[in-house]
Amino acid sequence: MSQRFQRITPFLWFDRDAEAAANFYVSVFDDARIVHVARYGKAGAQVSGHAEGAVMTVSFELDGVAFLALNGGPAFPLTPAVSFVVNCRDQREIDRYWAALSEGGDERAQQCGWLRDRFGVSWQVVPVQMSGLMTGDPARAERVMAQVMKMKKLDLGLLQQAAAG
């Protein structure tokens, strides 16, 4: 994995599932690892309500991007207002990431390539070709968007057919 400096790090606040979530994400992505697990000491346990020795934070990397997850309690629940985009080269990758990330998640949140996983984190599983399908000709973009709106998991072939007219 890259040793480059990363100025901005996504920070995920969980109630109590930071370690389970990080382990799950590391199992989904090929180039991924747990970097460090920090535990609550006495002072942190008193403030947080978590037991002394319980997992406080988990640092992990997915495809070279560093993330930090916190077991911070229920004060700030996750929201779909923030999501992570998984750029996929082909339908096989779309199918793979969709199946893994959506397993056990909220099926009601599956729309237009978006999903919410079992931990409440929102993801967009999209083909890298999407930008090209949506730019240039407004009529083509409208046809593609009409198809997207009908889908849960995106189907690259159908999107390309819509783009072709």
Question: Domain boundaries in the chain?
Answer: 11-71, 83-164
Per residue of the chain (165 residues), give pLDDT as tens: 456 789 999 999 999 999 999 999 999 999 999 999 999 999 998 888 899 999 999 999 999 999 999 999 999 999 999 999 999 999 999 999 999 999 999 999 999 999 999 999 999 999 999 999 998 899 999 999 999 999 999 999 999 999 998
Q: What is the CA radius of gyration of the chain?
A: 18
Topology at the third CATH level for domain 11-71: 3.30.720
Per-residue confidence (pLDDT) for residue 3, from 0 to 100: 65
Q: Dihedral (C-alpha) 83, 89, 95, 99: value to the nearest 10 degrees? A: -40
CATH number at 83-164 = 3.10.180.10
Per-residue confidence (pLDDT) for residue 107, from 0 to 100: 96
Amino acid letter, 56:
M
> In the beta sheet, which residues pair with residue 124?
85, 114
Per-residue confidence (pLDDT) for residue 99, from 0 to 100: 99
CB 35 within 8 A of CB 66: yes
Per-residue confidence (pLDDT) for residue 148, from 0 to 100: 97
